[in-house]
Amino acid sequence: MAMTATAGHAHADPHHIGVIIEHPGPASKRIVTAYGFWVFLLSDIVMFSCFFAAYAVLVGQTAGGPKGAEIFEQKNVAIETVCLLLSSFTCGMASIAADVRNRFWFYLGMTVTCVLGLIFLVIEFREFADLVARGYGPSRSAFLTAFFSLVGCHGLHVSAGVLWLLTMMAQVFAKGFRADVLRRMMCFALFWHALDIIWVGVFSVVYLLGSAV
Amino acid sequence: MLGKLDWSAIPFDQPIPLAAGAVVLVAILAVLAWVVVKGHLPYLWSEWITSVDHKRIGVMYVLLASVMLLRGGSDAIMMRIQQAVAYQSQGYLPPEHYNQIFSAHGTIMIFFVAMPFVIGLMNLIVPLQLGVRDVAFPTLNSVGFWLTATGALLVNISLVVGEFARTGWLAFPPLSELSYSPGVGVDYYAWSLQISGVGTLVAGINLVTTVLKLRTRGMNYLRMPMFCWTTLASNLLIVAAFPILTATLAMLLLDRYLGFHFFTNEAGGNVMMFMNLIWAWGHPEVYILVLPAFGIFSEVVSTFSGKALFGYRSMVLATMAICVISFMVWLHHFFTMGAGPDVNAIFGIASMIIAVPTGVKIYNWLFTMYGGRIRFATPMLWAVGFMVTFIVGGLTGVLLAVPPADFMLHNSMFLVAHFHNVIIGGVLFGAFAGFEYWFPKAFGFRLDERWGKAGFWFTFLGFFITFVPLYIAGMLGMTRRMQHYDVAAWRPWMIVAAIGMAVLTIGVICQIVQLVVSIRNREALRDRTGDPWDGRSLEWATSSPPPAFNFAFNPDVRGEDAYWDMKARAQQQSLEREEPEYHDIEMPRNSPTGFVCAFFATVMGFALIWHIWWMVILGGLGAFATFVVFAWRDHDEYVIPADEVAAIDRINLEERRKLVSMAGAA
Ligand code: HEM
Ligand SMILES: [Cu+2]
């Protein structure tokens, strides 16, 4: 407060002995934004954990319907995984391009990321449509309910990510690499990488373990 | 075209909700008309509705909570009257209506009274205590508030259009599944919580980031006021727990809308999974509510005892311990599930362990008072009343945490008495203490003490007269949620409880009168110094109400009780000093994003409840468009020039100098 502006120097905090490390004051906008977004991502991961838990509880409840091993297509899942992992890489390239303000590489990186994301979504959609057509929709059994919800929830996140990605490209097109656009780009990149990590979980828990039994 | 919505949704045959709805509608229209006719609309729009100032948003949260407290309170009065008269008769409420009332009462009290009240106080005060200009995400903060308001609005719409859930405030399946609750009641419940839950999550992220990343120079962790610590703990719990609620309700909605089988009786669904999930959120929720109240009591007790908080560090430790342990005890809500004695024993012991840090806190408050110069102003009365009440509630809680005892008492009136004991004696008393304590900071004048004290005593006595009989009725075997009963032994206790409710109501009326009287006498009650209680933390270092930018300079903190310290040093140095150099200040611009977003969320929520799919799409597109428009804005800040800052700050400094020299002379 103003009153202390000219006041004499700090007397020691009675709890501390020796050097006091003084808190330097509010962090920069970039750090605050990234930090807040991290906290959001953590909460999103908690939400996913619930669907994982539900899947773990319900995985045996097939109610006479198919088990995981009977419906999972390893080839499709492999392509999906490769797409997502690659897209994380290209998304990283786009972030670097944004940091050095190179429009060409930024658009290229983002476009490839978008295409890979769309391929992933198309494969997933076809998997779902195929299962429903065979009568193995989510209301067939509690196992399928949990499966569709967990994988679908991830798919919804990817779809939202694609929308966000397009918005980011439009923003860079219209406004250039402004500080606030760069902050948003940083959040988008965090989001996209987080989806990748969650996919690794889905892939291991649902498809790998599911095909084993 | 309109989905399930048609004229049968309006309960023409039920006079009570219709009349209540009509009264509310007329009241809202009257207020709106008054606002428009008096020409206040532009002021409301630009200063409040679109404001992103954390102080204004905090005030709006508290206002929302107060209004909803009246609604939830009316429900409580209706229930108490019903149980007083429904001995060997039907009473005056049909059963399905009674079920809606207790469900709406619980939902409203937890989500739209207690939550907005504490979030509002945290929003209002925490940035001031941290010595900063703003919260981390001002515009999102406004979005969060307005989404909470959307949830409250949807619950109230259910009064007149359609019905509310009859499933209790946690909507347990399979009762809440489509086959047993085919109406729209559960959908109202789930969508309003889903939407307001997003708002709460946003508020949580915002406050966590604010406390961790936006402290003023020198505000080390172990110098933060206690209220900032409990805010941090409470919001960490929000961030960790509310996604569980979101996921659980999403599963319930998927069951209801798309025929999924998470919690159904058929096709392998698992009802106990719902219990586990909902209480994994629900138990931390209790601490989300009560931790901020603990923080308020810490501030109040230390200020009105004229002493630093006793055992500050143990208090911090206790707070964080509660934050962690509260996640490990959820199973005590269903000891009767059949998990077996081992599991029950572990969760029973874990539950009792929480009593240790809580006890630490109570002792610290008592030792803070010991040897202090205590002033029994209204906030202090609430704090002391809380300590008495909460000890009773805590003890009955420990009793319920003993599995064999719980087998006898769960789902009884004893339980109802217990949780009201902690939630009214803890959260609501804390909210009232904070309200009385910080009101002068928010509005620049104090509240009338006589009416405030009357309000406290009636509420305090009324509380015991209402709830002690419920403990007894519970011991006598009365279960909760009874529409009517035939046991003569319960009758007298229900009548006493109804009388208690009347006393409680007088307490509430006293507080309303207090507000009116204080606004009338505001000139006499004006707080010119910004420090009406001789406070210890930084919110008292600025004027009341604070300017938009809170502080002309970021305060420089040298120890605990930052402002107390400054006052002490200023006295020694007699304040002879040249004027500091003022700088321009950048502040975030107002934005209608929150309000517009909530508008579309309301449209979408309503459409989802009634299956009006085209309207759902419209609302969704609208909300998305709002965000794109928001992201497209070019100037999100405006500048307050240095001489304006100087002019505002000089007035404040002048008053403060008088204060210090007066204290020095005394
Ligand atoms: C002002 C005095 C209050 C009275 C007289 C009162 C009365 C009642 C009554 C009669 C019930 C129904 C019990 C039953 O099922 O038989 C109830 C339930 C409940 N109340 Fe209150 N209440 C009050 C304040 C509050 C407050 C302030 C809160 C929370 C902040 C609250 C939260 C709840 C909850 C969560 C339920 C459970 C609803 C359910 O059964 O699903 N109440 N209350
Ligand atoms: Cu609990």
pLDDT, tens digit, 9 for 90 and up, residues A11-61 = 444 454 555 677 888 888 889 999 999 999 999 999 999 999 999 999 888
Average pLDDT rounded to a whole number, residues B452-477: 92
Instruction: Find chain A residues with C-beta within 8 A of B261's C-beta.
Output: 61, 63, 138-139, 141-142, 145
Q: pLDDT: is B497 or B338 the higher one? A: B497
Q: What Å distances lie between residue B280 and B232, B240, B572, CA to CA?
A: 20, 10, 53
- Counting residues of chain B whose pLDDT is more than 70, the rounded percentage is 97
User: Which residue has the least CA distance to atom 37 on ligand 1?
Assistant: B106
Q: What Å distances lie between residue B102 and B55, B95, B106, B169, B481, CA to CA?
A: 33, 11, 6, 8, 7
> Which residues line ligand 1 at a C-beta cut-off of 6 Å?
B 73, 76, 79-80, 102-103, 105-106, 109-110, 113-114, 168-169, 416, 420, 423-424, 427-428, 466, 480-482, 501, 504
Answer for the pair B54, B127: CB distance below 8 angstroms, yes or no.
yes
Nearest atom in ligand 1 to the alpha carbon of residue B169 is: 41
Taking only the tens place, the pLDDT of each residue in B525-543 is 888 888 888 888 889 888 8
- Residue A10: pLDDT over 50: no
How many angstroms is it from B109 CA to the middle of ligand 1?
Answer: 8
DSSP β-bridge partners for residue B586: B639
Half-sphere exposure (Cβ direction) of B414: Cα atoms closer than 13 Å: 20
- Residue B217: pLDDT over 60: yes
Both tokens of B619, joined, read 């609302």
Q: pLDDT: is B314 or B2 the higher one? A: B314
Taking only the tens place, the pLDDT of each residue in B86-116 is 888 888 888 888 898 899 999 999 999 999 9
Taking only the tens place, the pLDDT of each residue in B400-412 is 888 888 888 888 8
Mutation probe of ligand 1 site: the residue of B102, B290, B478, B480 with most atoms within 8 A of C-beta: B102
Instruction: Find chain A residues with C-beta within 8 A of B222's C-beta.
Output: 15
Among residues B586, B580, B564, B567, which one has the least CA distance to residue B635? B586
Among residues B319, B297, B278, which one has the least CA distance to residue B368? B297
Taking only the tens place, the pLDDT of each residue in B627-653 is 888 877 777 788 888 888 888 888 888
SS (H, E, C) A36-73: HHHHHHHHHHHHHHHHHHHHHHHCCCCCCCCCHHHHCC
Taking only the tens place, the pLDDT of each residue in B553-593 is 888 888 888 888 887 777 666 555 556 778 888 888 888 88
- Residue A175: pLDDT over 80: yes
Average pLDDT rounded to a whole number, residues B8-35: 77
Both tokens of B338, joined, read 């059949």
